Amino acid sequence: MSTRVLTEFDLLLPASLEEALDMLERERSAVTVLSGGTDLLVAMKAGFKTAKAMSLAHLRNLDFLAYDSGSGLRMGPRTTIAQIVDSADVKQHYPALWQAAKIFATPQLRNTATVVGNLLRGSPAGDCSAAVSALGGTLVMASAQGRREVHVDNLWVSYGVTARADNEMAVELRIPAPTKGTVSAFRRLTRVNEDLAKLNVAACLQLDGSTCTGARLAMGCVAPTMIRLPSAEAVLTGATINDDTLALAAEAVQQDISPIDDQRSTAEYRRAVAGVYLKRTVQQACGIA
Amino acid sequence: MSKHFVTLNVNGEDHDVVVASNKTLLDVLRDQLNMPETKYGCGTGECGACTVLVEDFTAINSCMTLAATMDGRKITTAAGLQKGNELHPVQQAFIDKAAVQCGYCTPGMVIKSVSLLAKNPNPTEQEIREGLEGSICRCTGYLKIVEAVAAASKAMAGTAG
């Protein structure tokens, strides 16, 4: 184990999507897919072993980012966090995702890391994962057999494990278009800005005046995977957003989370701040900060 | 372990190299191309000592980039910034403002500053500090570095950069 020397592996560099899917079909679990690689390379330097790694670096046209007011946002598996930050459409229509991307890691890592990679890493701490969870994204998985869609609610199975089959590759992320009254926001708690989160929250609400008619709330670093917050969502749905209902939602969060002690924080601290951060995130989304 | 034939365009010159699959761009620059100006710091994308530019002005961590994935790409290191005997305005500003102590972070810091100014030619102090996140200096306390980037921004105003 060394941060200087990577363990040995074979690198596959498919030149087309078809070739990539054929390789996955053949290699299955022997191969680890690498897009930006900002997480995988650190893992490999920390002792994670893989016989083969398949890089998407030579695949063309997979770094698209397109917004349509009807069909929503589409991006590819090579679309970087920096592209999200630079997108006026994302900033305007998907504040939660833009805010998560804006403070994601460092400028160098934002130039390399991808949103789809963040989702498929299956980390409970992924900033873009929180945002995409709240915004209700769907991944399109492709294999040599065909394509299927996996909604973000069904993506994370357990720590580091996703619903992606070992012969599949995510080829697109879709996020529905906001409608009138859709608001969203993201917040993260760290010691310094470059850190991974101690806790992160994303909220996407459907508002009719000050009444919340629908809520998708996601919180990270409080369970083995990124999670939705069903108890807090139930409190807010149908309610008027005010100090009283936010206090109730903040309290309800305790039923939804199961944090642990780790190198970045403690379970006790996470429980203490979870409600506060949820409240502030909803306020930020509603513009009542 | 697989080996890969790649052509890396480093500082305007093509280099044909055979790289092992587990070699990072940093490994190849330092050990195979004998270009030691790009530094190894943490190896995990946190300190920024290994920062290089790809395709003009995109700053990346060379310690986190597999060399075999960089075939045909244009890479600029700190040693590739000067034109002939003339230092890049950012390099000159780091000297003029004494924004260097031990110097280990300096190549990455200079590269990062060039990238920052390419995107935002007239940054505020706050924007400079945010733009330099991901590049760590353990000596200076950053004040002189921030001043140097501001001075370079002024020096570059009205020039092609």
Residue B160 reports pLDDT greater than 60: no
Question: What is the nearest CA distance from B42 to chain A, expressed in angstroms?
Answer: 7
Cross-chain Cβ contact A4/B69 below 8 Å: no
State the DSSP H helix or E strand holding residue A187, giving kind and residue range, or none if neither: strand A182-189
Alpha carbon separation from A203 to A62, A216, A275, B127 (Å, rounded): 28, 6, 13, 27
Q: For residue A55, give the nearest of B22, B69, B131 by CB distance.
A: B69
Distance CA A265, CA A199 (A): 9
Q: What is the DSSP string of A204-251?
A: EEEEETTEEEEEEEEEESSSSS-EE-HHHHHHHTTSB-SHHHHHHHHH
The residue type found at B120 is N
Quote the minimal CA–CA distance from B120 to chain A in Å.
Answer: 12
Give first-to-last CA distance, chain A, whole Å. 46
A63 with A80: CB under 8 angstroms?
Answer: yes
Q: Which candidate, B31, B25, B34, B98, places its Cα nearest to that of B63? A: B25
Interface contact A112-B60, CB threshold 8 A = yes
Judged against a pLDDT cut of 90, whether residue A33 lies above it is answered with yes
Residue A51, in any domain of the structure:
yes
* Mean pLDDT over each residue of chain A, to the nearest integer: 96
Q: Which residues of B touch A34 (CB under 8 A)?
A: 66
Tell me, what CATH number does A280's domain have? Answer: 3.30.390.50
Question: What 3-state DSSP class applies to A275?
Answer: helix
Examine residue A276 and state whether it is found in any structural domain, yes or no. yes
Last residue of a domain, one of A125, A152, A175: A175
Boundary of a domain, candidates A147, A175, A203: A175
Using a CB-CB cut-off of 8 Å, the residues of chain A touching B107 are: none
Contact status, residue A219 vs residue A241, Cβ threshold 8 Å:
no
List CB contacts (< 8 A) between A32 and chain B. none
The two structure tokens encoding residue A232: 């807090």
pLDDT digits (tens, 9 = 90+) for B37-57: 999 999 999 999 999 999 989
Do A73 and A141 sit in the same domain of this protein? yes
A143 and A230 in a single domain? The answer is no
Q: Where are the alpha helices (DSSP H) in A107-227?
A: 107-110, 115-121, 127-135
Percent of all residues in chain A with a pLDDT value above 70, rounded to a whole number: 99
Q: Do A151 and A208 lie in a common domain?
A: no
Question: Do A157 and A69 belong to one domain?
Answer: yes
Residue A44 belongs to a domain with what CATH number?
Answer: 3.30.43
Tens of pLDDT, residue by residue over A246-278, are 999 999 999 999 999 999 999 999 999 999 999
In a domain, A166, yes or no: yes
- Domain enclosing residue A139, as ranges: 65-175
Q: Which residues of B touch A (CB under 8 A)?
A: 1-2, 4, 21-24, 40, 42-46, 48, 51, 54, 58-61, 63-66, 68-71, 112, 115-116, 130-131, 133-135
Q: Are B115 and B52 in contact (CB under 8 A)?
A: no
Pairwise CA distance, residues B50 & A196, whole Å: 20
A213 and A186 assigned to the same domain: yes
Residue owning tokens 């075939």: B71
Q: What's the start-to-end Cα distance of chain B, in Å?
A: 43
Do A189 and A170 share a domain, yes or no? no
Residue tagged 């973000």 (tokens): A152
**Residue A275 sits in the same domain as residue A192:** yes
pLDDT in tens, B139-157: 988 999 999 999 999 999 9
A108, A111, A112, best to mutate vs chain B, most B CBs in 10 Å: A108
Q: How many independent structural domains does chain A possess?
A: 3
Q: What is the mean pLDDT of residues A103-121?
A: 97
Chain B residues whose CB is inside 8 A of the A105 CB are 45, 134
Residues A25 and A84 in one domain: no
Separation of alpha carbons A224 and A220, rounded Å = 9
- Looking at the fold, whether A22 and A91 belong to one and the same domain comes out as no
Looking at the predicted structure, is the pLDDT value of residue B131 above 90? Answer: yes
Residue A4 forms part of a structural domain? no
List C-alpha distances in Å: A96 to A170, A202, A277. 22, 6, 14
Same domain, A170 and A71: yes
Q: What is the CATH number of the domain that holds A83?
A: 3.30.465.10
The pLDDT tens digits for B72-129 are 999 999 999 999 999 999 999 999 999 999 999 999 999 999 999 999 999 999 999 9
> Strand, helix or coil at A33?
strand
In contact, B97 and B152? CB cutoff 8 Å: no
Same-domain status, A120 and A37: no
What does the buried/exposed string (b/e) look like for A157-169 if buried means 16 or more CB atoms within 10 Å of the residue's CB? eeeeebbbeebbb
Nearest CA-CA partner of B12 in B30, B46, B32, B35: B35
Domain for residue A5, yes or no?
A: no
Chain B residue at shortest CA distance from A36: B65
Give yes or no for residue B161 having a pLDDT over 50. no
Rounded CA-CA distance A60/A21 in Å is 14
d(CA B118, CA B132): 13
> pLDDT category, A2, cuts 50, 70, 90?
confident
Domains of chain B by start residue, with CATH: 3-80 (3.10.20.30), 89-156 (1.10.150.120)
pTM of the prediction?
Answer: 0.96
Q: A125, A145, A175 — which closes off a domain?
A: A175
Q: Which two tokens stand for residue A4?
A: 């200087």
Share of chain A above pLDDT 90, in %: 95
Interface size between A and B, measured as CB pairs under 8 A: 99
- Is A1 domain-assigned? no
Residue A38 and residue A15 share a domain: yes
Report yes or no on A2 lying in a domain: no
Minimal Cβ distance to B43: which of A4, A7, A108: A4
